[in-house]
Structure 1
Amino acid sequence: MNILIADDEAQMVKILSAYFNKEGFNTILAKDGEEALNLFSSSKIDLAILDWMMPKVNGIDVCRYIKDNSNTKVLILTAKGENEDELEALNCGADEYVKKPFDPRILIMRAKKLLEFKDLLKISNLNIDIASKKVYKNEELLTLTKIEFELIKCFTINKGIILSREKLLDLVWGLEYEGDYRTVDTHIRRLRSKIGEEIIKTHRGLGYSLDGDFN
């Protein structure tokens, strides 16, 4: 799933991106409202997290445009604390409103609720339990390494999206990992041997995506 995070506080964007990436979500980042609108127009966005007080175009106006032109969920962040401010945010179409400062873990829980994210997912003959970090194939528990589980979780959350090797390195291994792309191929090959060769699809020159029937 693609999460658009727009805030003129660079540190805030960095922190939220790290938290969402750790959960397996793909983040798209903007430093102001104008950039947020451009990214929204050029990308498939599942959830937009918008700071209210952004330069060029404020979060309320960005929210209004997004809701007028899509079914994308919107969560507004703001340091404003008055009831009238919350009413204004909700009246512009926002699905959720979070006051700063906040705990990023709570924000992620609210984001998952908006996205109707399930901790138990079924793909073809696999049952993936995100909460307990277990994967079952035809009801049999698979023995996966930490990296293999993070890969299948990442593919599941971003179902239907082609993830490049570079993006997988960022989401699964972390931004500070200095290994090369071949390690992605090695781990995917090992994962395929356990879950089935047909579930993870290779897109030559682009990356990988999860294929199969989703429930």
Structure 2
Amino acid sequence: MKVLIADDEQDMLKILKAYFEKEGFQVLLAKDGEEALELFYEEKIDLAILDWMMPKRNGITVCQEIKKNSSVKVLVLTAKSENEDELVALQSGADEYVKKPFHPGILLTRAKKLLNQGNRIQVKDLLIDVTKNKVYKNDKELEITKTELELIKCFLNHKGTILTRKKLLDIVWGFAYFGDERTVDTHVRRLRKKIGEDIIKTHHGLGYSLEDACE
């Protein structure tokens, strides 16, 4: 899994990089908010760890932009200690909030827990194991392409939300993709043949959504 860590304290970045790489994570480092967003748009990350008080753009505004454009998990770091600050972070879309100072091992544990939340999700007769990247229908494993798996994950991370073709393209194919939006229809059609016609709902003129899921 790929983790983005953004903090203007270089010593902190080095320490966290060592801890996360030892556990098998691929780590991207950013020294300010603008660099963090550049990496977010260039790379497909699974988790963003953002310091609140960063130069150029603070962690809260970076969190808001990441959440607006993706389903990436976000953990905010801060030296602030007021309860109101934690509320601001969570309202900005952050999935977790860790106060400084902290032990790197504790942060690593929090990050792992965040990434493993809801790792087995049931949708009718479909079981999605997000951690193992496997999909089962009636207990039989399906042959799913990487793009189809990313589509499923995208729908799971936006439960109850109608996703437009453009939104799906941005999240699954990436912001650098300039192809026809109808490619989404093609992949959804192929995916439906494998998982069932009624799992992904079509909202004519709007987009697609996933049937209600439970963890």
Structure ranking higher on relative contact order (CA contacts 8 Å, 6+ apart):
1
For residues 195-210 of structure 1, the aligned pairs below 5 Å read: 195-210=195-210
Worse overlay, 185-194 or 131-140: 131-140
Instruction: Output the amino acid matched with 1:172.
Output: V
Query: Shift in Å at residue 179 of structure 1?
Result: 0.9
Equivalent residues of 1:162, 1:208 under 8 A apart: yes
1:141 counterpart residue number = 141
Query: Shift in Å at residue 135 of structure 1?
Result: 0.9
Equivalent residues of 1:48, 1:72 under 8 A apart: yes
Question: 1:13 aligned to 2:28?
Answer: no
**Residue aligned with 1:128, SS:** strand
Query: Shift in Å at residue 184 of structure 1?
Result: 0.3
The gaps in structure 2 that reach 5 residues or longer are: 8-31, 49-55
1:103 counterpart residue number = none
Pick closer, same or farther for the CA change 1:124–1:61 going to 2, 3 Å.
same
Pick closer, same or farther for the CA change 1:143–1:70 going to 2, 3 Å.
closer
1:31 counterpart residue number = 57
Query: Shift in Å at residue 192 of structure 1?
Result: 0.9
For residues 23-102 of structure 1, the aligned pairs below 5 Å read: 23=46, 31-32=57-58, 49-50=75-76, 52=78, 63-66=85-88, 73-76=95-98, 85-86=100-101
Query: Which contiguous aligned blocks of 4+ residues in structure 1 show a shift greater than 6 angstroms?
Result: 36-39, 58-62, 67-72
Equivalent residues of 2:6, 2:36 under 8 A apart: no
CA distance in 2, matches of 1:31, 1:65: 19
Aligned positions, number: 175
Instruction: Output the amino acid matched with 1:181.
Output: E
Equivalent residues of 1:37, 1:62 under 8 A apart: no
For residues 126-165 of structure 1, the aligned pairs below 5 Å read: 126-165=126-165
Instruction: Output the amino acid matched with 1:183.
Output: T
The gaps in structure 1 that reach 5 residues or longer are: 78-84, 88-96, 99-105
1:188 counterpart residue number = 188
TM-score scaled by length of structure 2: 0.60
1:173 counterpart residue number = 173
Equivalent residues of 1:6, 1:13 under 8 A apart: no
TM-score scaled by length of structure 1: 0.60
Equivalent residues of 1:50, 1:59 under 8 A apart: no
Pick closer, same or farther for the CA change 1:196–1:37 going to 2, 3 Å.
closer
When the two chains are superposed, the root-mean-square deviation of aligned CA atoms in Å is 4.4
